[in-house]
Structure formats: C-alpha cells, structure tokens
Structure 1
C-alpha cells in the first residue's frame, strides 16, 4: 500500500512492482465498487502487505550491509514523508466534508474514527466496535485506514528487531530464521483467531503479520533468487498471478479470512516478486508497462481516496453503473492531484522544512491537524444545530396549534397531525430527545434476557404481572423483544405473566436462516430449546414476532417461509390454540439519530415514504395462518398512516434505528397494542 518512497537503484529497476501495486489497488477498487465476479478483490490489501514487507526489509537489509547499522530515525523519517502527507489530507477532507453535509451524530462517529486513524490504531478501533466491511450498516469513510495501522504496527517492531540482529552481526540466514518463526506464529494465530473471532482476526496486526513477513522473507532470499533460471521465473510468474486472480474471483465476503486462505494471494504475490528478482523475463515485463506503472505510482492515493469517495459519494450520485463510474473518475482525479501536489513534493524534498530527519516532525503535525480539524468541525456542526433548534422554537411559538400532547391517546390522530406538519414544512420540535440518547432508547434496557447471535439459550426473566396465574410466552427475534414493553404493560393491566424467549436474528419459525451468509447453528438449537421451554411452561397464550425474511438462507425463500410459519404454528397449537402472530413493521430508509440531528431536518424529511411499507413476509405470514388457530395481528398502523411513517410524533422519536421501534414509542402505543392483540384466556 504505502511501501517506501526512497528511490534506491534496486527499487528503480523493479517496474514490475509498480505493476503489482496497480493490480492490487485495482482489485480493491473493483471489490468495493461491487464489480461483478470480483467479490474477493479485497485480497489486493494482502498483495500490498507482501509488497510492503518486501520493499521495507530489502531497504533495511541493504542499509545494514552497506553501513553496518540501521538508522531508526532515518527509517521513521522516510515513513513519515511517504505516508503522512496524503493520509492526513484525506482525513482532514473527510472530516470537513462530513461537518458540512452530514448530521451531528454522523460527524461524531467520523471524528472518532479520524482520531483513531491518525494515531494508526484504526484496526483495534474497528475490531472493538465490531465493524464488518460487508455489513449492511453505513460503514465509516475511514474504515480502510485499518490496513495502514497494521503496517505501522508491524514497523514499530520489525526494524527494531532487525537492528538488534544487525548489532549481533547476524547473517541473512539468521534473519531468515527469525522471520520464519514470526511467520509461523502469526499464521497459526491467524488460523485460530479467524475461526474463533473472525472480525477481530480481519483487523488484527498479529493475524496479518505473516503476510508482511512473507514479503520480508522474499527480500532476505534475494541473493538466492538472483540465480533463478528463466524457466523457473516464468513458472513462478504464471502460478503467482494465477493464485492472486483465483483468490479475487473465488473468495467472497463470507470467506473466512485471513486464516490459511490468505496464503493463496500471499504466496501468489511472493511468487510474482521472486519471478522478477534479479532479472525480468517476458511475463514480468508485462507488469512494467507504462499504464500499469502509472496506476502503481498513484496506488497509495487511489487507496486513500477510493473508499471515502464511494461511501460518501454514493448518496449524491444515481444508482447503477453511471453513478459508480462518476465516483471512480472522481477518485482518479483526486488521486492525481494528491500524488503530484502532496506525495511527490514531500517524498523528493521539495518541502524544505521536512527534509531528512526533520521529517519526523510530520508525526505530531499530522495528529495536530487531524485533531484540530475534528474539534473545529464538531463546534461548527453543534453551532449549526443550535441555530436550527432556535429557529424551530420560534416556529412553534408562532404556531402553537402545531404542538401535540406529549403522550397522545389517539395514535392515528397523532400520526396524521405529524403528517400535516410535514406537509406544512414544519421544523422538528426543539424539545426532541438528544440523538445520542436514541441509541439507548431500546427494549434491551428493561428486558435484558435474550440470546445473542452465538447463544443457543437464554435466562428466563418473567415480566408483566409476576403473581398472575395466567402466562403468555413472547417468542421470536429482536422484533419480538421490541414489543416486550407493550406486552409487559398489557400483562400488568390484564393480569398475566409474560415470559420472553428471544434470540437476536432468529425467527421463531422452522425456516432456514444464516448469519451474514454464514452458518447459524445456534438458531435451530435455540428453537429446540425454546420449544422445550414452552412445553414445560404450558402457557395460556403465545405471541410470535419476527423481523421479516432478513436472515433467510434459501433458494425458495417465499415457499420456505410460508411452510415454516404454518408448521410452527400447528406444532405450538398442540400446547395452546391461543396464538397471536404479529406482522412486521416497515424499515425506514435512514438512521433516526442522523435525521433528528441534521441541521436541515424537517418533519417532512423525517417522514418515511410509502415504498418503505412493502413487507413481503407479512402477506406470506397472513396466508400461512389460514386454517390454523392463530390470529394474524398487523402492526403497521401503530407507526404509519395514509401510506407514510412519521419519525417524530409530539416530542417522541418512533424508531431507535432503521428497523426497531424506540422504547418510548412502544410504551405510548401499548394501550392500542393491547386492543389489537386482544388476548383472551378460555377456562381450562
């Protein structure tokens, strides 16, 4: 990715390395652009890791052989000139653009990410918050900085260790053995961690160290590789390029990675480097063609710019090929500018103040620039939001009829009032709950007993009227948990106990499901456990709820869903015929926190359009229940009216994320919910 920018003779002769850089960044961009057949293009990062290990180690070993020592200050000065100017410019640009165009809640996330990226700890940060490159939530525009962090963490240790080996007058053979041990330990750890904690492994510098060590091993073997025959070089080139391309075409976002599968692109890159070491044969010269060399020159800037341009720009261009093409052209333009006006001047000493070891000052300067930009952007955004709230306060003072009661009794009337405000262009009420607090306005706060993705069971935590003789089981996924506050209030008022059997991401019906495309064995295990609990409890009623077909894993999802619902309900009806199946709610198109903290937000902009009401599973569920003892209970009317769903009703935000109701709103609608569910308990 970054490599080293110092122009040694060895480096200058390796035009094929620039071609490899072009291939690597091209694969990454293809994958992140969702180009067909290149889902595994993320292995371009692994190609970069091997190249970086090769270049850095080669320069350090040659320095030690030439002068008998390694200059650590000189090394970090070169690294500063190579990586910091462009990386800092991109971080600053992303932060400023976010402050000018995004809500305050989004800016706070970006500021946090920028600071972690500036200190090259982004990989730990993203692993800690459970980031997944391929997840459905909006990713961070700085997420790609994790790979820069991995490189820098490796180079905090490796040059010092190499300096010690040089001080001990170690030979290349000894250096090779030490590197081989690092390689082996890292690979074993990578395989283990990929199986146990795949997200942590993906971002781990320890799990990735063997990739950089592979390049370092090739660099140490340079004297041996110089003697390779032309036929062997051709074979290495063909095999190496084949391995890299196979990985990029065969791997997907569900491939366990890095682990042992990372050896495919890593060893492929090592073979390509070996093929061109000492002498370039015909195939290797292809990598040195001028177009590839130019893209290779730009590769670092392309890597830095492509991800934020794709993530941020996606909201501002049309969907499809045309929009993606515009973003890729913009990436190239920014990369050219960044390369010629930022990278090159610093690398070649044209910036006088940071020549030689003075370049070390770039480390604190970079951090200061990013931190200062973050603080200024945050203050600007908070100031703009305060102005919006003041304007909203004036509006409602001038239009007192627009105010609603805090806890409306007539839900439909309250929803329609919000829609009228939207049509009138009214701003959001100034008394709205702070956007940061919305994330905690969720059912798990009062009802913490539920199974996570990995748990096959959970504790039983009764709610409702704990002294009642009647018992109702709430069974389902997080959308069942979402309704627990309403069912709890219903139980307290009507005199029945509520026992939740809830597992995140696991519908209560006998349907095939997966977790982000991977096997989800804990889901059927939980269903078996829950079925046994229901058998023991012998409830007087069962309420089932689900989040649509989100986690379905089937080639015929609609057929499997309908049959799974019917079979599950018929099975449970042998325990009690009193079964209610709740319909799913719409998914809104934006995060509530972002909408209510947007400086330009209005009641209209925070109202979901009718198209978001289309829920395939509801019609299938309703059809599946025909002829059974279960009743289907539609729930859309609790949050939507006349084909639209207002996010704000009175001073309450109805959703806490794109797909779950807020705890506050669920409590408000609980009386209406009770009437709609209408549980009745026949005498036994």
Structure 2
C-alpha cells in the first residue's frame, strides 16, 4: 500500500529483467501496478462512502497487501542479488522516510479533527487509537475491540483504518530477517536460492492461511490480526520470486489470465457482501486476482490490463493512494459526527474532497522526504526522522489524553449544569430519584417528559460507558467463551430462587433485580453472555455462526435443570437473526424459536418470566447528551420507533397465549412519554444506544420487584 513509484526503479527480480519494460517487468516501472493501486484505493473509498453496488469494497485492502508483498520482496531480492546481503538499516530507513512523515501528519490532524468535530465522549478512545496507530499496533487494538461487545457497538474509530498499515509493518519485521537467514543458506549451497525463498514464504503463508480458514468463520478478530493476514503479503512475495519465469508465459495464456484476475477483483467487490469469513476462502478472489494481474502483466503487454491500468489518471491516483487512504477516513468520520448520518452523495463528496489534503501531503511531505539526498545517503538519519515522527504522533495522542478532564467513578459522578464536565464541585448533588420520580402513573408524569435542561445528571455522560454491571468480568461471559459464569445476589439460602439468563440486555437489569432480591430476600443467580440470547436455536453474529453462544446456551440449560435449579427463570435479550433465516422473516423466526425454548422449560416445570426488551435508539444517547447539555430534547427519540427496533416485538409474539410465561413490560418507566427522555429524575437513562445505565436500572428495583411478585406467588 505504501510503495512509492520511485522505488520501482530499484526493484529488480532475482534474475535478469524480462523484456517489454513498457508493459512492466519487475525491473522497470510498471504502470499497470500503479493503476492497480488506484483500483484498490478506489474500492476502499467507494465502499466506505456506502456505494450500494460495492458492498465488498473492503477487498481493496487485500489487493494492497498482495501488491506490497510483491514490491517489497522484489526490493529485498534485488539487494541480495546485487550486494549479496541485506542491510536492515537501509531497508527500514526506506520504510521510515516513505511511511512515517505522512502518517504522523495525518494522526496529528486526526486529533485536531477530533477536538473540533467529535463528541467529547470519544476523545479518550481516539487518543489511545492514535497512540496505537503511531506504534503500528492498531490492528491488535481493533481485534480486541471486536471481541468486546460494548466497544464493538461504539461509533467507528477515526483512526481505525491504520490497522492495515500495522499488519504490513509487522510482516516486514519478520520477512527481512527470514530472508537474511535463507540468503545465508543459499550462499553456502550456491544453488536453489529461489526454492529457498519460496520455502521461506511458504513457512509464513501456509500456517497463516490455515489459521485464517479455521478462525475467520466464527472469530471477528480474525479480520484484523497479523497471523491471518500474512499469507496475503507472502503471496505477493511469491510472485516476486517467480517473476522471471512468469514473464516468459505465452501471450495467449498471459492475456486472458491477467484480464481474468482484474475481473475477479472487481467481481469480488460487487459480490462479497460481508467481512465475515475474511480473510479465509472469500479472500482468495481478490488476492489471487491481484496476483494474476501482477504475474502475467509483463507477458500480456499492452494487450493485458496495462491497456486500462497504465493510463495516466489511474497512475496518478495510484501514486497518491497512500495519502488518499490516510486522509479519507478521518474526514468521513468527522463529517458524520458533525452533520449526522451521511447519504451516499454527501459521503462521496467528502471522499472526493479528501483528494486535496492527500495531494498536498504527497507533493509537500511524502516526496520531499523520500527524495531527500541527505536522507538517501544517510540511512541512520532517515531512521531518526522516522523515530521523531513516530514519537511526535504518539506524544500528541498522549498529551491529548492527559488534557481531557478526568471523571470520577461512574456511580457517583454527575454533571451539574453550568459547570464543565469533569470539573471539581464544592458539594455533591443529592441522590437522584431516577425512575422513582415518575410515581405510579409514568405515562402522565411530567418528570418523564423530555426537557432541554436539568439541574444535574448522574452519571456524568462522559463516564456513562463504565456505568454498567457487565464490567464485572467474573460474572459476565465475553463473545469467545462458552463456559457459564454464575453470580449469586440477594439472600444465598433463600427458599425463593430466581435465575436471570440472557445477553447484555439481561445484564443491564441486574442492578434492578439485585435491589428487588435484597428487598424481598430472594436468591438471585445471573447467567449472562455478550450478544447471546437464551435460545436453543443458533443465531448469527456479524454474519457469522455464533457457535460459542449455542454451546453456552446448552450448558446453562443443563445447570438450570440440574441440582442448582431455580424456582423461576427470568430472561430477556436484544434483537438477533436466527441462523439460516432470511431477513424478511427475522422477527417471526425469532418468535418461533423463543416459543420453542420457553415451552421446553415449561415442560420441565420451570416457569418463565420475560422482561420485554427496552427501547433501541439509532444514536448513542450518552454521547448525544454530552454534546447537548442545554438542548437535551435533541437526544429524545420517538418512543414507538425505539420500541419497535429492539427484541420486544418478537418476545410479545412468542409469549402470546403461552401458558407458564409471564411477560413484564416496564418500558413505561424507561420511556414514559411519546419521545424517550434521555434523563429522568436526574439520572441518565442510557449509557449508549440501547443499554440502561446501572444507575437508572437500580432505580427500577421497586417497580421490578412489584411486577415479579404475582409470578413468584404462583410458585
């Protein structure tokens, strides 16, 4: 992704340059590959802009990986052939002066965009994202967040596109060292060096591809981690090793294969509709297609894709593709944060506008640094420049983080209107009543109506994401594990044994249930898992089969019907697709499977209480509140739409007429008015778009206890 056109003149195959330099041999500038870089970045940009016909635009990243593997391996092999050794100082100096100045510029600019356009609630996360990006570790941070159900539902990071650059640089920490070792062996044997190089690439590619095939179908973190991506770069490296042999392919063979490769890349962007399964079998299309264009382009000559890819407009876009890739995403995220959800036309306008800073970066930062005679002649100086750029970007992120006002613990922190969030106050506000302010008739209570401003808000909206019971990892199962974790609340030896089972929407009821259990001397056992409803059927998560959820459900069911059997089961969940069911029948399929699950428990003499799912909003309420402390009504969503979007409709359909199931709906105390007030009784209701704050949940304890008593009385 980050290879300058000038480096083509240095890149030579491990054997003599093939003929037809105009069509692009590995030892000459190849306009077709420069054009291929343009294709790759345009696929990414158009995909991010939301072009409906390019759902798989993200395959442009796979194209970049293969191209980078080819180019860098070609440079390394050239140096081995010409000098008989590799200089790691020279290699990393070239990488540093090529990549780091532009990256540091964009990362610092990203912090500026964050300050002016992103909500304050995202500032801290963005600062750490910039630090991770500067250190080329963003892919591992993204991988961790993809397994964190709470983080996975956050707005996209303004620096998340740096993950692919991190993958490349991590690969180049390994490959040159392995190549040095293989080159040493080749010199001692004095023959078979190409075979040794291919063997080295196979040592990387085969385990990497095997691991990708194993984990990609079910593990969302597989998309980002280096271990599943290295085979794509190694594939490009293999083309570089065999470039001379491939350049001798008959034109009648090379022309159709090269064109077929380009067509396959385009078809992949059109036909692949999800990142699920990447980079496994689905990634073979864009990677092998790119490999075919590179491999057979020289033999195909002007009759091949070079006819299209070698044209000047595409070549120019390919030249600035690195800067274009760096700039487009921060501008898209900043525009979205400022103007709201962007339509396709608006997003395309932002993407097009990103070409301006990209071109300026290319001409005034990239080119002057990488063409500097001083830095070229003195590689250690280039390394120092790179180190300064990395440290500057990381330090900027750290200073940005330190400059953010700190907040206290989420349960006790509040915002007093007229003060800066996070500032020290002289006296804490009195305890906020939350749902208790609504009285017994919430739908007519003035306390539930949205207003522009309130005296204080608990918790501080900037700390709301931490105001959640699932932060206790010992009591909540993450996306990966299938081992149930039960936690007991209330009176352990009570004769009334209650169990709560479900996903994070069950988890956010724990403060309310815990309060009710303590008041009524119940024993409450909780079993919760991220993104996993209590259901015997298999569901999908991010278009992947959620196998750990299915297994977790099986094990929890065994515990519920075993020696630790409760007297009554309470469950709830958000909305999920049933595996194998079309989207048009999603609700009816879920209702059908819920009914089956509950009926099987009733047959085992275990009564079921279903807490009707809470409203689901289309925006992060805590984030909205933090930005609109004096216009809170901007954060009030229509009640009917919010209730319709969650898992409630399927629950209502499933519970209808089913003996032994009690459906409890407390949404009148959560969204009492026709528009859901973000703050009720001085308490922030939502910590994101669809989870209650633990503080507000706790204020629902008396209402929930009262609602549960009839069901418990029937035992």
Which residue of structure 1 aligns with residue 709 of structure 2?
678
Structure 2 residue 198 is matched with structure 1 residue 179? yes
Do the aligned residues in 1 keep the contact of 2:38 with 2:317 (CA within 8 Å)?
yes
Structure 2 residue 89 is matched with structure 1 residue 49? no
Query: Per the alignment, do residues 552 and 444 of structure 1 end up closer, same or farther by CA in structure 2, a change over 3 Å counting?
Result: same
**Paired residues for 1:488-503 under 5 Å:** 488-503=514-529
**Paired residues for 1:535-614 under 5 Å:** 535-536=561-562, 539-549=566-576, 554-555=581-582, 556-576=585-605, 579-591=608-620, 594-595=623-624, 597-598=626-627, 601-602=629-630, 604=632, 607-610=635-638, 613-614=642-643
Which residue of structure 2 aligns with residue 647 of structure 1?
678
Do the aligned residues in 1 keep the contact of 2:503 with 2:572 (CA within 8 Å)?
yes
Which residue of structure 1 aligns with residue 74 of structure 2?
58
Question: Distance between the aligned counterparts of 1:136 and 1:205, measured in 2?
Answer: 23
Question: Distance between the aligned counterparts of 2:541 and 2:693, measured in 1?
Answer: 24
Which residue of structure 2 aligns with residue 336 of structure 1?
359
Which residue of structure 1 aligns with residue 118 of structure 2?
102
Structure 2 residue 139 is matched with structure 1 residue 123? yes
Which residue of structure 1 aligns with residue 510 of structure 2?
484
Question: Distance between the aligned counterparts of 1:132 and 1:404, measured in 2?
Answer: 34
How far residue 152 of structure 1 moved from its aligned partner, in angstroms, is 1.7
Do the aligned residues in 2 keep the contact of 1:478 with 1:546 (CA within 8 Å)?
yes
Give the TM-score normalised by the residue count of structure 1. 0.86
Query: Per the alignment, do residues 417 and 86 of structure 1 end up closer, same or farther by CA in structure 2, a change over 3 Å counting?
Result: farther
Question: Distance between the aligned counterparts of 1:572 and 1:68, measured in 2?
Answer: 73
Do the aligned residues in 2 keep the contact of 1:452 with 1:503 (CA within 8 Å)?
yes
Query: Per the alignment, do residues 166 and 528 of structure 1 end up closer, same or farther by CA in structure 2, a change over 3 Å counting?
Result: closer
110-119 vs 324-333, greater mean Cα deviation: 324-333
Do the aligned residues in 1 keep the contact of 2:592 with 2:654 (CA within 8 Å)?
yes
Question: Distance between the aligned counterparts of 1:320 and 1:369, measured in 2?
Answer: 35
Question: Distance between the aligned counterparts of 1:38 and 1:284, measured in 2?
Answer: 21
User: Alpha-carbon deviations, 1:294-333, whole Å to 9, x = none?
Assistant: 2211211121122223333223446322222222222223
Question: Distance between the aligned counterparts of 1:635 and 1:391, measured in 2?
Answer: 29
Do the aligned residues in 2 keep the contact of 1:473 with 1:499 (CA within 8 Å)?
yes
User: Alpha-carbon deviations, 1:60-110, whole Å to 9, x = none?
Assistant: 333343344444333222222221222111111111110222244411111
Which residue of structure 2 aligns with residue 311 of structure 1?
333
Give unmatched runs, 5+ long, in structure 1.
none
Structure 2 residue 315 is matched with structure 1 residue 269? no
User: Alpha-carbon deviations, 1:221-277, whole Å to 9, x = none?
Assistant: 233234332222213313322332343334332542223543433232222112123
Question: Distance between the aligned counterparts of 1:118 and 1:259, measured in 2?
Answer: 28
Do the aligned residues in 1 keep the contact of 2:435 with 2:681 (CA within 8 Å)?
no
Which residue of structure 2 aligns with residue 238 of structure 1?
259
Do the aligned residues in 2 keep the contact of 1:433 with 1:652 (CA within 8 Å)?
no
Query: Per the alignment, do residues 534 and 292 of structure 1 end up closer, same or farther by CA in structure 2, a change over 3 Å counting?
Result: same
Question: Distance between the aligned counterparts of 2:483 and 2:370, measured in 1?
Answer: 58
Which residue of structure 2 aligns with residue 359 of structure 1?
382
Query: Per the alignment, do residues 451 and 117 of structure 1 end up closer, same or farther by CA in structure 2, a change over 3 Å counting?
Result: closer
294-303 vs 601-610, greater mean Cα deviation: 601-610
**Paired residues for 1:134-145 under 5 Å:** 136-145=153-162
Question: Distance between the aligned counterparts of 1:539 and 1:159, measured in 2?
Answer: 60
How far residue 376 of structure 1 moved from its aligned partner, in angstroms, is 4.4
The secondary structure found in structure 2 opposite 1:473 is strand
How far residue 16 of structure 1 moved from its aligned partner, in angstroms, is 0.8
Which residue of structure 2 aligns with residue 192 of structure 1?
211
Which residue of structure 2 aligns with residue 423 of structure 1?
451
Do the aligned residues in 1 keep the contact of 2:97 with 2:382 (CA within 8 Å)?
yes
- Between Structure 1 and Structure 2, how many residues are aligned? 672
Question: Distance between the aligned counterparts of 1:216 and 1:609, measured in 2?
Answer: 53
Give the TM-score normalised by the residue count of structure 2. 0.83
| Cα-Cα RMSD | 3.7
Give unmatched runs, 5+ long, in structure 2.
10-25, 409-413
How far residue 2 of structure 1 moved from its aligned partner, in angstroms, is 0.5
Question: Distance between the aligned counterparts of 2:613 and 2:130, measured in 1?
Answer: 37
The secondary structure found in structure 2 opposite 1:35 is coil
Which residue among 164, 168, 184 is the counterpart of 1:151? 168
The secondary structure found in structure 1 opposite 2:505 is helix
Question: Distance between the aligned counterparts of 1:250 and 1:176, measured in 2?
Answer: 36
Which residue of structure 2 aligns with residue 656 of structure 1?
687
Which residue among 490, 510, 531 is the counterpart of 1:464? 490
User: Alpha-carbon deviations, 1:6-28, whole Å to 9, x = none?
Assistant: 34546653111111111111222
Question: Distance between the aligned counterparts of 2:598 and 2:431, measured in 1?
Answer: 40
Question: Distance between the aligned counterparts of 1:192 and 1:90, measured in 2?
Answer: 33
Question: Distance between the aligned counterparts of 1:330 and 1:220, measured in 2?
Answer: 39
Question: Distance between the aligned counterparts of 1:132 and 1:290, measured in 2?
Answer: 45
Question: Distance between the aligned counterparts of 1:332 and 1:66, measured in 2?
Answer: 38
Which residue among 620, 637, 655 is the counterpart of 1:625? 655
409-418 vs 464-473, greater mean Cα deviation: 409-418
